[in-house]
Amino acid sequence: MARYTCHQFYILFQLCLVLILIQWTIHHVNYASDRLYQRRNGAFKLHSLQQSVQVEKANHRIRKLSNNSRQSVNLITIESARRSNRDIFPVKSYFIPMVIFSSFRLHYITQLLQSLKVAAMTANLDGASPCLFVLHRNKDVSQQHIRDMQRLLNTIQFCKVYQWRVHAPNQGKRTASSFKAVWFDAVKRAFESQKFATSTSSYEDDIIFLEDDIILSPDALKVFRYGIYQKNRHNSVIAVALGGWSGENVINAHPDTFIVRRSFHFPSMAYAFNMSTWKIIKSSKFLKHRNRDWSEALGDIVNRRLGWVPYFIVPTLGRIWHIGSQGLGLRGDSSMRRHVELRAHWTKAPRLINFHSAKVNKGYRDLFGFYCGQFILKSSLCPRSYIRFPPGRRFDIICIDAGNGPEPCLRKYPYLERDFTNWIH
């Protein structure tokens, strides 16, 4: 009996060895097959481990910096370190034509070009992008002004420069009526000439229009790029702007958020639109409209032609600094004096746009960013929005209930202060 029991144990031991051998063989066959499959499908990349280490180091650095609420940092550098290669705009460079209106005011155009150069570098602007300078000459422009302007334009390398010199009518005075005519002819040249065309046909995509007495934020062209991308996805939106007439913010200002808002006036200072909007202008009686201000006349024309108040996409954080102290005013004769902000208001934000977190806030908004449902279809202002967001607050960061749920916003920042703890997500 004992001998029989030992024999049974011997057989069981052999069976266990056979089973272990079979399991070992199956495991290695599957492992080899998995490795072969992964190699064929590109799963093994030599730099994957290095990327993981770099991302972990960047995140550790961000966590370390975020704990120090008083430390000044360059968030753009940190964001670029954290950003992967998956960009929603994968092209290597950005091609966009621009039209710059100038009146030989060198103290203004010099500052605009300096900011535009930085914005072009930030957005990786294609050097072949055409820049048409509309040089509006009046009776106060001397030959020395012309030579200085030409010398300045010769230094531009971030775009391909074109010039168009226009003589002001009405005894050489710069008026709203004369600028309205210049504006119409400049837009016509931009969309119908071969200079902006990339083929034998005329240019039909978006063109950026800038006036000379503004300073752009470093990410202005990136903001234009995202705004144009969103505009072309919304049939009701006809143009993109970088802010109000003076570059004001709207409520709940944030470097990554945009709104679709209604306005009776077409945006000015810095804006972009495409051929479809130009066809509306061209087929209308724009130059014969009774309003001498081009933006008000165009807003009225679009409203009448489309049958509704037009929609525009704007960033909640304005990206233009209007430095011109003298405007054409209601009378259109350059008699108006305006207050100029001491600093650019986008410096109150801790960073600039990040494409990966950029978005358009929900709902159609009024002029100041408020949401009021169906009421906005009849007006460009929600009830009490002017009282809740008066003119004196429109260059600040105002976090307030917009009427359409919680939205990202920045708390009020001291100028040039970078404090992570003030973020609201």
Residues in the annotated binding site for Mn(2+): 213, 322
The residue among 99, 418, 419, 369 whose CA lies nearest residue 261 is 369
Give the three-state DSSP class for 305. helix
* CA geometry: angle 99, 224, 215, nearest 5 deg: 65
* CA geometry: angle 89, 90, 93, nearest 5 deg: 85
Query: Between β-strands 359-365 and 257-262, what pairing exists: parallel, antiparallel or unpaired?
Result: parallel
Which residue has tokens 């108006």? 336
Give the three-state DSSP class for 311. strand
Give Cα separations from 365 to 243, 259, 332, 381, 403 (angstroms).
14, 7, 30, 8, 10
Are 300 and 322 a contacting pair, CB within 8 Å? no
Question: Whole-angstrom Cα distance, residue 206 to residue 96?
Answer: 7
The residue among 124, 118, 50, 64 whose CA lies nearest residue 90 is 124
Are 361 and 404 a contacting pair, CB within 8 Å? yes
Give the three-state DSSP class for 327. strand
Known binding residues are: 213, 322
- Tokens representing 388 are 């809740």
- Tokens representing 110 are 């010099």
Question: Whole-angstrom Cα distance, residue 341 to residue 198?
Answer: 40
Contacts with 282 (C-beta within 8 Å, 6 or more apart), sequence order: 188
CA 395 from chain center: how many Å?
A: 18
- Tokens representing 179 are 């600028």
Give the three-state DSSP class for 1. coil
Neighbours of 146 (CB within 10 A): 14
